[in-house]
Homo-oligomer: A and B are copies of this chain.
Amino acid sequence: MEFRERQAIYLQIGDHICENILRGTWKEGYRIPSIREMSVSIEVNPNTVMRTYSYLQDKGIIFNKRGIGYFVADRAYENTLDLKKKNFINRDLPYVFKTLDLLNLTLDDLEELYRKGS
C-alpha cells in the first residue's frame, strides 16, 4: 500500500476501511482483518494498525470482541457518512471555494480539469 505524504498513516488506513464500509463491501457485523493480518498485508507496524482500530472504535464504526477480532458496528454506515460529511463540509469545502476564487475558476471548470488531470 502506498501512503500519501501529508496525512498520518493510521488515518489513511482508517480512510481505507471507511471506504469499504461506504461502498457496502463490508456490511454490519463483518469481521475485518485482524491487526496482525492487516499489518502484514499493508506492510505497516502493528502499532500503527492498532491505532487505526482504536480510533475507529472510538467513532462507533467498528467494535472489538476480545480474543476474537474487530467487527463492523451497527449503524457503521450512518456513523461513517456523518463523520465524513461533517469533515468535508467544515474543513474541505471552504478551502476548495477559496482556491477556486484565487485561481479564477468556477465550479463548472472543475470536472473538466479533473478529467484532464487524471
Interface, chain A (partner B; CB < 8 A): 3, 9, 18-19, 22-23, 58, 66, 81, 84-85, 88-90, 92-97, 99, 102-103, 107, 110-111, 113-114, 116-118
Contact = CB atoms under 8 A, between A and B. Distances in A.
Which applies to chain A's interface (DSSP): helix, strand, loop or mixed?
A: helix
A102 B89 CA distance: 14
Closest 7 CB pairs of A and B: A89-B117, A22-B102, A93-B114, A89-B113, A88-B99, A97-B114, A85-B103
What is the oligomeric copy number? 4
B107 A111 contact: yes
A72 to B, nearest CB: 16
A84 B101 CA distance: 12
